[in-house]
Amino acid sequence: MAHIIAPSLLSADFSQLNKAVELVDISPAPWLHLDVMDGVFVPNISFGFPVIKAIRPLTKKTFDVHLMIVDPDPYINLFRDAGTDRLTVHYETCTHLHRTIQAIKAAGMKAGVAINPHTPVHLLTDILSDLDQVILMSVNPGFGGQSFIPGTFRKLNALRELRNVHGSQLLIEIDGGVSEENVNKLASHGADVLVAGNSVFNAPDPAAAIRTLSASD
Ligand code: DX5
Ligand code: ZN
């Protein structure tokens, strides 16, 4: 399967969000990655429902919402109502992860779990068959523009093997430090979705950057 590029709005010019969304809308990228941060789980605060709701009419692309917030359960329906298609919570924030995943699915969204760089893949073994996607964080969450952590390749291999063993169809998504330098290697190691913030929105020509990242394989 060809990989999916999910441009991350976090690196866009927030004073011109409509332009950033419209750029993605006419690009080959099928997903838009939206990072929601609470200043508690991660040392940064980004945006929430009002922003997601405001940009929803601008595109039909899949909204891939990555929650970096503690206690996401009370907000699941609000994210659905704002226009989320795929909702991912962090393993590290959910005491009752199975319940949270079922609630996301019951709300009509695809459900994902993200794991931090220090969290081993095998901790997902007993939730794997319930998941539509897993986000392997290839930086410590909180900021765009950080360097890719090379140990992610080992985790990518381990997750692919676990997925095979369980006969799961989940998508493996890599988030953080994805660039033209590592996109080919990640895709050839079996990454299905590649989030790209800095390498798209801080490129001299963001539209061309999406095309290059999407074409390589
Ligand atoms: C980091 C976010 C990422 C971020 C990636 O906490 O989860 O989605 O936007 O940005 P880049 O591609 O710049 O590393
Ligand atoms: Zn993200």
Domains of the chain: 4-215 (3.20.20.70)
CA of 177 to the centre of ligand 1 (A): 7
How far is it, in rounded angstroms, from Cα 192 to Cα 212?
Answer: 16
CA of 118 to the centre of ligand 1 (A): 17
The residue to mutate among 10, 37, 87, having the most atoms of ligand 1 within 8 angstroms of its beta carbon, is 10
57 CB contacts (<8 Å, ≥6 apart)?
none
How far is it, in rounded angstroms, from Cα 174 to Cα 196?
Answer: 9
Query: Quick check: 5 and 194 in contact, CB under 8 A?
Result: yes
Which residues form the catalytic set? 35, 175
Phi and psi, residue 177, nearest 5° = 70, 20
Please report, in tens digits, the pLDDT of each residue of the chain (217 residues total). 689 999 999 999 999 999 999 999 999 999 999 999 999 999 999 999 999 999 999 999 999 999 999 999 999 999 999 999 999 999 999 999 999 999 999 999 999 999 999 999 999 999 999 999 999 999 999 999 999 999 999 999 999 999 999 999 999 999 999 999 999 999 999 999 999 999 999 999 999 999 999 996 5
Ligand 1 atom nearest to CA at 42: 6
CA of 173 to the centre of ligand 2 (A): 10
pTM for the whole thing? Answer: 0.98
Q: Provide the pLDDT for residue 102.
A: 98
In the structure, ligand 2 is a single-atom ion and the residues with CB under 5 Å from it are 35, 66, 175
Q: Is 61 in a helix, a strand, or coil?
A: coil
Listed as own residue / partner, the contacts of 16-25 with beta carbons closer than 8 Å and 24 or more positions apart are 17/51, 17/54, 17/55, 18/55, 18/58, 20/201, 20/206, 21/55, 21/58, 21/59, 22/58, 22/59, 23/206, 23/207, 23/210, 24/59, 24/61, 24/210, 25/58, 25/59, 25/60, 25/61
Q: Provide the pLDDT for residue 47.
A: 98
- Beta strands of 53-176 (E only): which ranges? 62-68, 86-90, 110-115, 133-137, 171-175
Q: Provide the pLDDT for residue 150.
A: 98
Q: Provide the pLDDT for residue 151.
A: 97
CA of 122 to the centre of ligand 1 (A): 23
* Residues at CB less than 6 angstroms from ligand 1: 8, 10-11, 33, 35, 66, 139, 141-142, 144-146, 175-178, 195-199
